[in-house]
């Protein structure tokens, strides 16, 4: 285990693109600092809508070829963020995109939504015991905005965090590992409101933004009252890496910095400071944390701050 970097961050997401939208700046920052950044994506995003007209054939109701295409987009996005460890839960295509809430794809065999939590979590336990992350980032219980795959990803990630620490749970998957800190993705309401004000101003100017319609605060996943946010990561030095990673997901995202739109064509702000709620683990001091590993490195030092002895 001595070759593991001292700081190890695990992010668990539903589809390719979610990581870049939610955590792109955070991932680029920690990767640049030499931390181990591991991304686990639960599905290939096969049911996503396709933005570029010339790629429309990829959609699931036509050639159903979007999954492998998004795999390649994710590879390029990770290159932009400097992240080398990205995996699909159980391997590429093991769990399928469940579509939006209420569609028949929800219950299809192999859909993430139709999978037993512990079955899916077992695959993540294996990753956790291998990588031994001190920090886990995922969604809130509503998946940020109610998409079945995002809700299920939350459940799988939280369950896997528990099971990984359980010595009796499938010991063949590795030695038990307890994750010190667990975070949910958040956006403070004031930041979202301010971002839309900026966007409305920009749209009013003749600066050629490729958007005509605008989203609203309720369209942003994970928006909460400011006091709920415990942690903010200033990734502004990695703004261009984040935008490039989002741009790599071209079937899903249209980017015009510092704004973007998904397939609904509703423009929204692109945040380069990313926000989190610490839901498990100790928080030092009263103000917002500015580092996901705050308080962790002290613990790490007991067994070797520089990665020796881990
Ligand atoms: Zn998603």
pLDDT for 100: 94
Average pLDDT (175-193) is: 98
Q: In this structure, what CATH number is given to the domain that contains residue 45?
A: 3.40.50.10320
Q: Is position 291 within any domain?
A: no
In the reported structure, the alpha carbon of residue 277 is separated from the centroid of ligand 1 by a whole-number distance in angstroms of: 19
pLDDT for 285: 77
Q: Is position 51 within any domain?
A: yes
Q: Is position 83 within any domain?
A: yes
Neighbours of ion ligand 1 (CB under 5 A): 14-15, 18
Residue 152 vs residue 207, higher pLDDT: 152
**CA distances to 6, 108, 156, 268 from 115, in Å:** 34, 9, 10, 32
- pLDDT higher than 90, residue 300: no
Residue 144 vs residue 302, higher pLDDT: 144
- pLDDT higher than 50, residue 192: yes
pLDDT for 205: 87
Q: Is position 300 within any domain?
A: no
pLDDT for 207: 74
Binding site, annotated residues for Zn(2+): 15, 18, 150
- pLDDT higher than 80, residue 308: no
**CA distances to 37, 140, 193, 220, 292 from 10, in Å:** 6, 16, 29, 23, 11
In the reported structure, the alpha carbon of residue 94 is separated from the centroid of ligand 1 by a whole-number distance in angstroms of: 16
- pLDDT higher than 50, residue 309: no
Structural domain harbouring 65: 8-280
In the reported structure, the alpha carbon of residue 261 is separated from the centroid of ligand 1 by a whole-number distance in angstroms of: 14
Binding site, annotated residues: 15, 18, 150
**pLDDT digits over 219-241, tens only?**
999 999 999 999 999 999 999 99
Q: Is position 137 within any domain?
A: yes
In the reported structure, the alpha carbon of residue 271 is separated from the centroid of ligand 1 by a whole-number distance in angstroms of: 17
Number of domains in the chain: 1
Q: Is position 290 within any domain?
A: no
Averaged pLDDT score across all residues of the chain: 94
Q: Is position 240 within any domain?
A: yes
In the reported structure, the alpha carbon of residue 63 is separated from the centroid of ligand 1 by a whole-number distance in angstroms of: 21
Average pLDDT (247-273) is: 97
Q: Is position 140 within any domain?
A: yes
Helix (H) or strand (E) holding 87: strand 85-88
Q: What percent of the chain has pLDDT over 70?
A: 95
In the reported structure, the alpha carbon of residue 68 is separated from the centroid of ligand 1 by a whole-number distance in angstroms of: 16
């Amino acid at each position: 285990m001595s070759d593991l970097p001292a700081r190890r961050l695990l992010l668990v997401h539903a589809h390719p693109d979610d990581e870049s939208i939610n955590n792109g700046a955070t991932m680029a920052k920690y990767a640049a600092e030499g931390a181990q950044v591991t991304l686990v994506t639960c599905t290939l995003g096969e049911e996503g809508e396709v933005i570029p007209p010339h790629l429309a054939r990829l959609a699931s109701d036509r050639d159903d070829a979007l999954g492998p295409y998004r795999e390649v987009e994710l590879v390029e996005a990770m290159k932009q963020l400097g992240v080398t460890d990205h995996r699909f839960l159980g391997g590429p295509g093991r769990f399928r995109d469940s579509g939006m809430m209420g569609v028949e794809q929800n219950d299809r065999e192999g859909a993430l939504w139709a999978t037993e939590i512990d079955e899916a979590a077992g695959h993540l336990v294996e990753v956790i015991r291998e990588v031994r992350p001190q920090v886990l980032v995922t969604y809130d219980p509503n998946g940020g905005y109610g998409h079945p795959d995002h809700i299920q990803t939350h459940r799988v990630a939280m369950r896997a965090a528990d099971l990984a620490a359980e010595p009796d749970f499938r010991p063949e998957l590795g030695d038990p590992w307890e994750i010190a800190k667990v975070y949910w993705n958040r956006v403070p309401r004031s930041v979202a409101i301010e971002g839309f004000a900026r966007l409305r101003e920009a749209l009013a100017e003749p600066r050629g933004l490729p958007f005509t319609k605008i989203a609203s605060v309720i369209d942003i996943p994970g928006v909460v009252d400011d006091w709920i946010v415990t942690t903010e990561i200033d990734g502004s030095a990695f703004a261009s890496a984040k935008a490039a990673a989002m741009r790599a997901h071209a079937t899903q995202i249209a980017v015009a910095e510092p704004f973007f739109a998904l397939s609904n064509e509703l423009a929204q702000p692109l945040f380069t400071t990313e926000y989190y709620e610490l839901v498990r683990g100790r928080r030092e001091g009263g103000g917002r944390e500015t580092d996901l590993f705050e308080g962790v490195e002290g613990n790490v030092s007991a067994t070797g701050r520089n990665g020796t002895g881990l």
